[in-house]
Amino acid sequence: MRVAEIWRKRMRMSFTAKMITAFVLVILIPTLFTSYSFYVVSGSTVKRNVREASIQIAKQGADSLSFIFNAGSDVSDMIYIDSRIRHVLTNQPSGGLDLAQWRENEDYMKSFLNNVVYSSSFVNIVYVLKNHETGWGSGTFSRIKLARYFVEEQPWAKEATALEGGLVWNAIAADQLSSGGDYTEMVLPIGRAITDYASGDTVGYILVNLNGRKVIDKIKEMKLGETGGFLVVNDEGRIMVSSDTGSIGSIVPNKELLGHITEDSHIEFEYKQGDIPYYGIKQPLSNGWQLVGTVPVHEITDRLSALHSNILRSFGIFTLLGIGMGLVIASRVTRPVKQLTRGMKQVQKGDLNVRTDVRTNDEFGLMSHQFNKMITDINVLMEQVTEEQQRKQEAELRAAVHRINPHFLFNTLGTIRWLIKYGQSEQAYEGISALTRLLEANMGRKGNFVTIAEELSVIEKYLVILEMRYHKRFKLNIALDPEAAGLLVPRMLIQPLVENAVFHGIVPKGTDGEIGIEVSREGEAVMIAVTDDGIGLPPEKGDVIESVEKAVKEGHAGIGLHHVHECARLYFGLGSGVTLEAREEGGMLARIVLYPKKTPKQEG
């Protein structure tokens, strides 16, 4: 009973404690027991096995370092083959570039170099340098330090120039071009010269700085025995990477060890440091350097004996036991992680109704609660934003309609006033009757939206008033696609275009006219075309034909066209708008394109 209670308390521990427990059970138990068995049954030396393990450690370490070094050389290759960078370096006139070209080059170089750095976690910073006055870099590149650097005089730059595009690998040192501090950032520089293909001259240099701390940390992670360790040397025996940063850049001090590094082809060797015998091992790296490990011989040979059957039996039993217990605990630990992950993926897809149900007393239970609360808050905020946007759009539409209605009433009442003044009472009566029918049609509809069919019905009544006003006959031809007739549009969406066709097109012509309205559906879009046989748009209004949106923004469009443009922009999807163009046979064509507005989920 007490064991069960202890187990339940263990399972209520924090996530960190669970992971530590799993780690102890899966790793430490078999490791400790195996170590104990080694000490109990040790009798004979298994130096060969230890050496094989040492070689494996060295190979793995060499592979890890080569992977890091290859990342640096790959980045250097990316920059070296980029034609735009070569063009910028080759075409830098002595008098300088114009401001636009200079900004374009600066933006490209900065963006390219930053993207290159982001593509590799091992690259700390990269530079493209022309001279001490001109250069580019990612991150915290400092042109002030560049001015004091004099790249052409640097030994690596001279060597890179001689290699004509070959890589120059340098020892770990402080970064001299970063503004992040006074040369405190440890980097492993990889230099390279960029040559002009045409002339063969050096036009610039590439300097890729690998993260020196990560390289040193990788060296520190590799252990041989208790006190043994690794370092990286070049073909001359010069120390390029070491956990002892004070020794970097110097030749290996032990002459016997130096001889094994530079002259001996064997990967294993022994030498003496004073009176203490040492075991050494080396592995080649991808850039031509060598990884060298050394350890006192007694650390890898003392007490390394085993009774193989007992070791294998005990190791197998306890390893299986540890793995089994680890799997059980890992399953309990990762179950809430998987549930939270599934919930997050659903939210990523746009499903904000998902909720997680992790009822534990650890960090995951708290994360589940906070996740659910966050989704609820997001839903509330989205509803608030949607409601505010809807109110804003309705207010803008009301404001637009309130601008158009007085404009229309002013024109109509002005016409009736002149009819009365000149004694044309019968025509004035007909005008008032037509206006009454039109107002009744508008007042009978609730809300700010009508169907296209209803909008066209209002336009037919409206043309009666325009005929009375201008003493002309305006023939209206309507072609309405039944699939588009029921589409809801803001009030007075088409009417301003009809009025413009009459006022700006037909009336100045001095004769009767013809107006065509064609409504059709093309895929998701609804197309509304309004044509007239008038005189067309005056030359001074040519900017309106070029871009209605620009004309509206600059105030060159009238109230009606402004209203139509704003309605299409506010209430319909991306790509909706108004265009004007002159017809070959005379007159104008005004086209409204309406795409449905999509939700954020649909857009995703």
**Domain span at residue 581?**
383-603
Q: 425 with 555, same domain?
A: yes
**pLDDT of amino acid 527:** 94
**pLDDT of amino acid 5:** 63
* Alpha-carbon span 322 to 310, nearest angstrom: 18
**pLDDT of amino acid 44:** 46
- C-alpha distances out from residue 249 to 89, 143, 253, 448, Å: 32, 27, 12, 80
| Tokens found for residue 375 | 């989704």
> pLDDT by residue (tens digit) across 356-391?
777 777 777 777 777 788 878 887 887 777 666 665
Q: 193 with 332, same domain?
A: no
Domain count for the chain: 3
User: Are the beta carbons of 99 and 106 closer than 8 angstroms?
Assistant: no
* Mean pLDDT, residues 217-229 taken together: 87
Q: 426 with 341, same domain?
A: no
Residue 24 lies in a domain: yes
Q: Could you tell me if residue 474 is left (phi over 0), alpha (psi between -120 and 50 degrees) or otherwise beta? A: beta
Q: Is the pLDDT of residue 305 over 50?
A: no
Q: 255 with 391, same domain?
A: no
What does the longest C-alpha to C-alpha distance in the chain come to? 133
For Cα atoms 429, 433, 434, give the angle at the middle one, nearest 5 degrees: 120
**pLDDT of amino acid 541:** 64
Q: Between 355 and 173, name the one with better pLDDT.
A: 173
* pTM reported for the whole predicted model: 0.45
Bridge partner list, 165: none
* Mean pLDDT, residues 324-341 taken together: 69
Residue 376 lies in a domain: no
The band of 285, judged by pLDDT with boundaries at 50, 70 and 90, is: very high
The band of 291, judged by pLDDT with boundaries at 50, 70 and 90, is: very high
DSSP 481: -
* Alpha-carbon span 526 to 484, nearest angstrom: 7
Residue 195 lies in a domain: yes
Q: Is the pLDDT of residue 63 over 90?
A: yes
Q: Between 93 and 576, name the one with better pLDDT.
A: 576
What share of the chain in percent tops pLDDT 70?
74
Q: What's 297's domain CATH number?
A: 3.30.450.20
Rg (the chain; Cα; Å): 41
DSSP class per residue in 80-129: HT-HHHHHHHHT--TT---HHHHHHHHHHHHHHHHHHHHT-TTEEEEEEE
Residue 12 lies in a domain: yes
**pLDDT of amino acid 430:** 75
**pLDDT of amino acid 450:** 87
**Environment class of 246 (CB within 10 Å of its CB; exposed 0-12, middle 13-18, buried 19+):** exposed
- C-alpha distances out from residue 52 to 43, 47, 58, 224, 267, Å: 20, 9, 10, 12, 12
DSSP 502: I
474-480 and 513-522 beta bridge pairing = parallel
> pLDDT by residue (tens digit) across 15-37?
545 655 665 566 656 666 665 56
Phi first, then psi, for residue 327 (nearest 5°) are -65, -40
> pLDDT by residue (tens digit) across 156-178?
989 988 888 899 999 999 888 87
**pLDDT of amino acid 66:** 93
Residue 363 lies in a domain: no
Q: What's 431's domain CATH number?
A: 3.30.565.10
**pLDDT of amino acid 404:** 47
Q: Is the pLDDT of residue 310 over 70?
A: no
> pLDDT by residue (tens digit) across 98-157?
788 888 888 898 899 899 888 888 998 999 988 878 888 888 888 888 878 888 888 998
Q: Between 543 and 511, name the one with better pLDDT.
A: 511
* Mean pLDDT, residues 552-558 taken together: 64
Q: 497 with 507, same domain?
A: yes
Residue 33 lies in a domain: yes
Q: Is the pLDDT of residue 10 over 70?
A: no
**pLDDT of amino acid 121:** 87
Residue 374 lies in a domain: no
**pLDDT of amino acid 298:** 81
Q: 288 with 340, same domain?
A: no
* Mean pLDDT, residues 275-293 taken together: 92
Q: 288 with 331, same domain?
A: no
3-state secondary structure of 372: helix
Phi first, then psi, for residue 598 (nearest 5°) are -95, 155
Q: 292 with 333, same domain?
A: no
Residue 360 lies in a domain: no
Q: Between 335 and 134, name the one with better pLDDT.
A: 134
Q: Is the pLDDT of residue 95 over 60?
A: no
- C-alpha distances out from residue 426 to 97, 430, 464, 468, 514, Å: 76, 6, 15, 11, 26
Which residue's structure tokens are 């649909």? 602
Q: Is the pLDDT of residue 307 over 80?
A: no
Which residue's structure tokens are 């850049």? 249
Q: 409 with 393, same domain?
A: yes
**pLDDT of amino acid 594:** 93
Q: 217 with 333, same domain?
A: no
Q: Is the pLDDT of residue 45 over 60?
A: no
Which residue's structure tokens are 């001299």? 176
**pLDDT of amino acid 306:** 46
Q: Between 308 and 483, name the one with better pLDDT.
A: 483
> pLDDT by residue (tens digit) across 229-254?
899 999 899 999 998 888 998 999 99
Q: Average per-residue pLDDT in the chain?
A: 79
> pLDDT by residue (tens digit) across 182-209?
556 889 999 999 988 877 888 899 999 9
**pLDDT of amino acid 458:** 85
168-169 and 135-137 beta bridge pairing = unpaired
Q: 54 with 10, same domain?
A: no
Bridge partner list, 290: 233, 284
Q: 434 with 513, same domain?
A: yes
